[in-house]
């Protein structure tokens, strides 16, 4: 067991609490790799135009494997004294982004980070072995069998080093952290994921910096945006009311209002219960996959109907207002907003943590993005990759149509239009855009559907296209993009065999419900032709029975048919179908889900690696040039990086950003068939940089 030491200038204070060993900072000798943790007065730490705001450090812990040191920052030692000891060391932390922010606040930049939180997320990505939790206590118990009491954590900022439990809690956070990281690191090497781990750890620095920099927000423009959104909602609600009045007069409120001649409805648009009958009266299908009535957007949007268009427009506006409305203004601090990032989801992309502002999903419209205005004396600098996931996917599957689009600039929507409409097969892209834009538009929805692993059935359900036509469209897409599907089939076979989808850098997404799938697969492969013949007959009986029993009225012929079908319900074929259908359906559903992951996850993950590598390179340049807090990284929504820099630095960082994105992006391409593309711009607002 490690020896614990407290470093403080107030030993009398700690002697009143318990029996502790003390030492001086000159006695501390540290190895190359050390465990580090910090204790803070709060969770928020950020930088404004006026300097640092938020919480600060009150203790720092260091563990060497044989000794643990607790530095009392309220008892004589300064953060700088401690951080000077950490220079040139490999720092092992749990959830490093949190601690790095406080290091930045005190002018210390750690160049070599290892994060047990990230190591755990990488090893168990996709909930491998049922692992969903990556907090310190869960990882410690899972990997080392050590159970720590984390109940002290919720009051540590208030109590600080004021009792035995808090002090022991601080020591525990670093006591076995090196052993934990060594265990995880060994597993990562064995899994071939070292390249992934290194990049994810390096990316903690720019992500921590981004959390501290925040986004500059014009309150005036944001208030104007909110007013516009409210007016837009009012307008579309009037259109909805007028539509109901004209088409369903029974919902008109006939009660006389002495103060208004305006016609009103006797229903509440916000009440799902009251609105469901309206949709049913308009003969709009609102049954979900479980045959229950729902006004969920995914259910309603499957209908082609003018009322649905109005309803979805209202829902979209309301969602935008609730997500990006007054709540954003309320969280603004000195003209800036901040968030906190989850450094890795199952695609390796970053996400915003719950409870914070979702920086990554701000709408791309002019009104919204024009509200993010650079501070006085600063400029916004932004760049995004050109078709990043398309490029990354093409690097893997080498699909001919996609490569032609990248190399020669051909339009994939036009290419698919030629497949769907043979009458335009000899026309150029420009001729199709100029003279057959409606046909090109019809090709877009199926393209996006199939591009992300959808099927003919998906298209049929989502777009209201007949199943027969949907199958024709799907076959056309598969013919156009044969390279994607051939590669996807190989990737699926490989992934099913090994239990995970592998992307660049050894990054892996473990297949959900894999053990269940393998059991079903073994059963499925054991079935013979006789089984499938009986299953097919049983399925046709079930289909006909469902069709007839769900009709409101039957013809005489249909009544006779139903009576005949009922006699088949006791047949062996129907019994076999009823028994086997759940497993057949589950197997097919899981296989389809795996195929979608194979088509999408490698390209998405590779794109995430490109963006993170670019952020790492950009941050290195900022530090190297001594431009911290004058060249701020404000946001990175997926394929985009946004900065706010001093005016005299804008042109410099425009060039640096483009260079970092292209060069770092190209490092993750293996085919060398093309180069990544990224264009940067400068403006006064986020909108004006593009």
% of the chain with per-residue pLDDT over 70? 99
Return all residues near 349 (Cβ < 8 A) that are at least 6 apart: 604, 607, 608, 611, 638
Segment of 270-274, 300-304, 453-457 carrying the highest mean pLDDT: 270-274
CA distance 307 to 313: 10
pTM of the model: 0.92
Q: pLDDT (tens digit, 9 = 90+) per residue, 146-181?
A: 998 878 888 899 999 999 999 999 999 999 999 999
Q: CA-CA-CA-CA torsion for 613, 617, 623, 627, nearest 10 degrees?
A: -110
Check pLDDT > 70 for residue 620: yes
> What pLDDT is stored for residue 445 in this prediction?
80
Q: What is the mean pLDDT of residues 116-140?
A: 95
> What pLDDT is stored for residue 262 in this prediction?
67
Domains of the chain: 3-191 (3.30.420.10), 219-331 (1.20.1060), 392-600 (no CATH)
> What pLDDT is stored for residue 456 in this prediction?
83
> What pLDDT is stored for residue 462 in this prediction?
72
> What pLDDT is stored for residue 263 in this prediction?
66
DSSP 685: B
Gyration radius (Cα) of the chain, Å = 30
Which of these ranges, 36-45, 151-160, 334-343, 596-605, has the smallest mean pLDDT?
151-160
What separation in angstroms does the CA of 577 have from each of 531, 536, 583?
9, 8, 10
Check pLDDT > 60 for residue 258: no
CA distance 404 to 410: 6
CA distance 453 to 593: 8
> What pLDDT is stored for residue 255 in this prediction?
66
Check pLDDT > 60 for residue 277: yes
> What pLDDT is stored for residue 465 in this prediction?
80
> What pLDDT is stored for residue 215 in this prediction?
98
> What pLDDT is stored for residue 424 in this prediction?
93
Round the average pLDDT of the chain to a whole number and report it: 93
What's 283-351 look like in SS3?
CCCCECCCCCECCCHHHHCCCCCHHHHHHHHHHHHHHHHHHCCHHHHHCCECCEECCCEECCCCCCCCE
What separation in angstroms does the CA of 110 have from each of 93, 95, 104?
11, 14, 9
With bands split at pLDDT 50, 70 and 90, how would you rate the model's confidence at 260?
low
Check pLDDT > 70 for residue 261: no
Q: What is the mean pLDDT of residues 616-641?
A: 97
Per-residue b/e over 159-196, b at no fewer than 16 CB within 10 Å? Answer: ebbeeeebbbbbbbbbbbbbbbbebbbebbeeeebeeb
Check pLDDT > 90 for residue 389: yes
> What pLDDT is stored for residue 367 in this prediction?
94
182 vs 558: which has the higher pLDDT: 182
How, if at all, do strands 33-40 and 90-93 pair?
A: parallel
Q: What is the mean pLDDT of residues 255-284?
A: 81
238 Ramachandran zone, left/alpha/beta (phi>0; psi -120 to 50): alpha
DSSP 502: E
CA distance 243 to 355: 38
Which of these ranges, 133-137, 274-278, 444-448, 671-675, has the smallest mean pLDDT?
444-448
CA distance 264 to 303: 27
Beta carbons within 10 angstroms of residue 151's beta carbon: 9
Check pLDDT > 90 for residue 609: yes
Q: Output the six-digit token pair for 113.
A: 């980070």
Q: pLDDT (tens digit, 9 = 90+) per residue, 522-546?
A: 999 999 999 999 999 999 999 999 9
Exposed (0-12), middle (13-18) or buried (19+): which is 125, by Cβ within 10 Å?
buried
Q: What is the mean pLDDT of residues 362-367?
A: 92
Check pLDDT > 80 for residue 82: yes
With bands split at pLDDT 50, 70 and 90, how would you rate the model's confidence at 443?
confident
Q: pLDDT (tens digit, 9 = 90+) per residue, 44-58?
A: 999 999 999 999 999
Please name every residue paired with 380 in a beta bridge, in sequence order, or none if there are none. Answer: 644, 683
> What pLDDT is stored for residue 450 in this prediction?
83
Which residue is associated with the tokens 């085919």?
Answer: 671
646 vs 299: which has the higher pLDDT: 646
């Amino acid at each position: 067991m490690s020896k614990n030491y407290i470093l403080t200038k107030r030993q009398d204070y700690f002697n009143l609490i318990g029996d502790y060993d003390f030492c001086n900072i000159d006695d501390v000798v540290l190895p190359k790799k050390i465990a580090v943790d910090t204790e803070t007065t709060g969770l928020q730490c950020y930088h404004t135009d006026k300097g640092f705001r938020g919480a600060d450090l009150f203790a720092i812990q260091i563990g060497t494997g044989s000794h643990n040191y607790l530095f009392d920052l309220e008892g004589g030692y300064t953060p700088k004294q401690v951080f000077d000891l950490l220079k040139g060391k490999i720092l092992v932390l749990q959830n490093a982004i949190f601690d790095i922010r406080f290091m930045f606040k005190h002018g210390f930049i750690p160049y070599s980070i290892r994060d047990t939180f990230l190591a755990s997320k990488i090893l168990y990505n996709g909930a491998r072995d049922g692992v969903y939790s990556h907090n310190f206590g869960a990882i410690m118990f899972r990997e080392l069998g050590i159970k720590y009491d984390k109940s002290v954590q919720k009051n540590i900022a208030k109590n600080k080093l004021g009792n035995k439990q808090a002090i022991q809690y601080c020591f525990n956070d670093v006591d076995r952290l090196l052993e934990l990281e060594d265990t995880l690191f060994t597993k990562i090497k064995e899994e071939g994921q070292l390249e992934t781990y290194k990049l994810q750890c390096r990316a903690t620095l720019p992500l921590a910096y981004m959390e501290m920099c925040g986004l500059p927000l014009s309150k005036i423009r944001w208030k104007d945006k909110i007013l516009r959104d409210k007016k837009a909602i009012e307008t579309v609600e009037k259109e909805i009311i007028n539509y109901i009045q004209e088409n369903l007069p029974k919902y008109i409120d006939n009660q006389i209002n002495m103060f208004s001649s305006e016609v009103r409805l006797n229903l509440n648009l916000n009440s799902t219960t009251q609105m469901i009958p309206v949709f049913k009266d308009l003969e709009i299908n609102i049954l979900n996959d479980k045959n229950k009535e729902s006004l969920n957007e995914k259910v309603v949007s499957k209908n082609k109907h003018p009322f649905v268009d109005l309803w979805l427009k209202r829902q979209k506006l309301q969602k935008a207002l609730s997500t990006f409305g007054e709540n954003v203004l309320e969280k603004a601090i000195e003209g800036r907003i901040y968030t906190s990032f989850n450094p890795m989801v199952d695609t390796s992309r970053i996400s915003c943590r719950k409870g914070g502002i979702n920086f990554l999903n701000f709408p791309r419209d002019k009104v919204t993005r024009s509200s993010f205005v650079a501070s006085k004396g600063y400029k916004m600098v932004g760049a995004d990759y050109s078709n990043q996931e398309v490029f990354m996917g093409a690097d893997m599957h080498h699909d001919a149509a996609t490569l032609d689009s990248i190399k020669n600039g051909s339009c994939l929507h036009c290419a698919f239009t030629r497949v769907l409409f043979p009458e335009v097969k000899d026309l150029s892209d420009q001729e199709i855009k100029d003279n057959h834009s409606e046909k090109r538009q019809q090709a877009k929805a199926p393209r996006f559907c199939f591009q992300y692993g959808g099927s003919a059935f998906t298209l049929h359900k989502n777009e209201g296209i007949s199943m027969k036509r949907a199958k024709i469209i799907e076959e056309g897409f598969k013919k156009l993009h044969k390279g994607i599907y051939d590669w996807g089939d190989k990737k699926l076979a490989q992934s099913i065999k090994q239990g995970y989808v592998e992307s660049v850098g050894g990054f892996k997404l473990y297949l959900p419900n894999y053990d269940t799938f393998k059991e079903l697969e073994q059963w499925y492969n054991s079935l013979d032709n006789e089984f499938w013949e009986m299953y097919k007959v049983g399925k046709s009986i079930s289909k006909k029975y469902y069709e007839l029993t769900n009709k409101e009225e039957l013809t005489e012929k249909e009544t006779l048919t139903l009576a005949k079908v009922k006699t088949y319900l006791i047949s062996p074929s129907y019994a076999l179908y009823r028994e086997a259908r759940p497993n057949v359906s589950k197997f097919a559903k899981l296989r389809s889900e795996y195929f979608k992951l194979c088509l999408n996850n490698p390209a998405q993950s590779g794109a995430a690696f490109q963006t993170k590598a670019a952020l790492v390179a950009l941050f290195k340049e900022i530090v190297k040039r001594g431009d911290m807090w004058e060249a701020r990284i404000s946001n990175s929504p997926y394929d985009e990086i946004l900065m706010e820099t001093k005016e005299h630095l804008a042109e410099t960082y425009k060039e640096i950003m483009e260079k970092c994105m292209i060069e770092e992006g190209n490092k993750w391409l293996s085919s060398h068939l093309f180069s990544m593309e990224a264009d940067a711009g400068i403006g006064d607002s986020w909108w004006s940089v593009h």
